[in-house]
Amino acid sequence: MITLAQLADAAHGDLVPYWPVPLPRVELTGVHVSELEDPTVFLDGGELLLTVGMQLTGTDAQTRAEGARSYVQRLVEGRVAALGLGLGSGHSMVPDELRAACVDAGLPLLTVPRESPFLAVSRAYWELVRRGGAAELTALLGLQVALTRAAAKDDAEPAIVRELAHALGTWVAYLPEGGAAPSCAGPGAAGGPADGRGVPAGLVAELLGEAAALRAGGRGATATVQLASGPAALYPVSDGAGPVAYLALGRGGQLAPAERHLFLTASTLLANRAAGLRRAEEERARSGGMLVALVLAGHDDAARLLAGQLGWALPETVYLAVLVESAAAPQPSGATAEGPLGFELGGRVYMLLPADTSRPRLAPGVRGAWGGPVPLRRVREIAGQVADAAGQAPSGRVVRVGHGLELPADEWAAALADAGGEILPTVRAYLKNRGQWEATARDLGVHRNSVRHRIARSAELLGVDLDDPDVAAHLWLALRT
């Protein structure tokens, strides 16, 4: 944006500051020439108005002063940025009444010397516009190159956020969907970490809440919101197929054309990055599904060969989990040889999980069953029973099927003992009577519904099916020792 002081310097004596000196920082939108009593109807605001003062006449000082005050007041109300008086044609010097009116209204006043045409001032302004446009274009291209280079980095999202925050001079936050970590950076963050430096405290938490509300309100919603630190604008970022992320800026209102261009470039790069990651995720999931299908079919050697081609190393010992497909049992994603591998078949998701813990790590609330740990070559042997158990599992629970190299029966016994109350005696009696409700209730002297309730609590506590023969046998031996 061109300022009044820049124009006065560029005019080389064709435009001379009169009051105040030095000139304040006033941004100009144009230069206009008019001798009308009220030229503001033809102005948009922000202009330097040039006049020879034909309307500033009067036979006495009071009339001239009132006329000058009324004229200047109309200019101020019309958001004129400054007034330039051409000397020579109407006034050989600045009238005292005009100077007083400009001082009272705070309107900068300049003069155009007798020998200088108004056209010289207009030419100086448009030359500045031309130079500024070229400089703006050069700067814009440089910033676009910086954004494009950022998109090619391994940490593309934080890098893009850093560059955009630096270019816009305000904080920027990228809020992806699906639990991925947000990226946030303050102004001046280019080249540094997108770790929230220069960002108001608690901002990310506020933005995540606003983004969640926008997603709930409808796909593609845009909003300007008032945060504790001030106004912010949230814009949806999506490639049209994947989930909607949000890009937030630390200010409301309209962006300037160059800023809008940079913002759209950053949004496109982030959307393309998200689409690429999603396609890579889907491809990894498909590759993982092929490995699981081979293992389930008993072709573990072929599965190892394929895993080698993918750069993965299948574990020798795994858990097999079968989840009943529902809203609570999402499809596995992010498959790697070190993480879960999933394959959907017949409305169920078969998952191979590394046996690096005492039980497989599964999301809470899913429904299904799991077995193992077992060697990879034995997965086919237990798949049918685990799948049957998954179909019979209660809602929101994953039960254990007693196949594996070793069952943690001692841990189960300790957990039952720690639970206190009648849990341990009830389980011991239940196993002794081979799962007979009536016989167990008689031994304990309670109603069979009490037995059912305690056994259900025990199964939930241990995460196993007490009616599974392997589980029952191992646990019975542990409870007798």
pLDDT tens, 111-137? 999 999 999 999 999 988 888 776 666
- Is 145 among the domain residues? no
- Is 279 among the domain residues? no
pLDDT digits (tens, 9 = 90+) for 303-336: 888 888 888 888 888 888 888 865 333 444 334 4
- What token pair was written down for 120? 């010289």
Quick one: which of 402, 382, 381 has its CA closest to 465?
402
- Is 263 among the domain residues? no
Alpha carbons 208 and 215: distance in angstroms, whole number: 11
> Is residue 414 over pLDDT 80?
yes
Q: How many CB atoms lie within 10 A of CB 209?
A: 12
- Is 134 among the domain residues? no
Q: Are 466 and 459 in contact (CB under 8 A)?
A: yes
> Is residue 219 over pLDDT 50?
yes
**CA distance between the termini of the chain:** 86
Alpha carbons 86 and 117: distance in angstroms, whole number: 8
Alpha carbons 333 and 371: distance in angstroms, whole number: 21
Same domain (yes/no): 233, 156: yes
Choose one of 333, 366, 401: the last residue of a domain: 401
With a CB cutoff of 8 Å and minimum separation 6, the contacts of 21 are none
With a CB cutoff of 8 Å and minimum separation 6, the contacts of 455 are 426, 427, 430, 466
For residue 22, is the peptide bond before it cis, meaning its omega torsion is within 30 degrees of 0?
yes
Same domain (yes/no): 413, 439: yes
Pairing of strands 27-28, 16-19: unpaired
Same domain (yes/no): 360, 437: no
pLDDT of residue 239: 65
Q: Are 47 and 84 in contact (CB under 8 A)?
A: no
Quick one: which of 420, 417, 405, 412 has its CA closest to 476?
412
Q: How many CB atoms lie within 10 A of CB 347?
A: 9
Quick one: which of 82, 101, 100 has its CA closest to 27?
82
Collapsed DSSP state (helix, strand, coil) of residue 53: coil
Distances from the Cα of 295 to the Cαs of 39, 129, 292, 306, 309, in angstroms? 84, 70, 5, 11, 16
Q: Which residue has the tokens 């077992």?
A: 374
pLDDT of residue 389: 85
Choose one of 376, 401, 426: the last residue of a domain: 401
pLDDT of residue 279: 82
Instruction: Report how many domains make up the chain.
Output: 4
> Is residue 240 over pLDDT 70?
no
- Give, as one character, the DSSP assignment of residue 377: G
DSSP H or E stretch at residue 3: strand 2-3
Q: Percent of the chain beyond pLDDT 70?
A: 87
Same domain (yes/no): 8, 91: yes
Same domain (yes/no): 292, 365: yes
Same domain (yes/no): 168, 117: no
The least confident of 19-28, 238-247, 434-443 is 238-247
Choose one of 401, 432, 451: the last residue of a domain: 401
Q: What range does the domain containing 431 cover?
A: 409-480
pLDDT digits (tens, 9 = 90+) for 338-373: 456 777 777 888 888 887 776 777 777 788 888 877
Q: Percent of the chain beyond pLDDT 90?
A: 28
Residue 26 maps to which CATH number?
A: 3.40.1390.20
For residue 373, is the peptide bond before it cis, meaning its omega torsion is within 30 degrees of 0?
yes
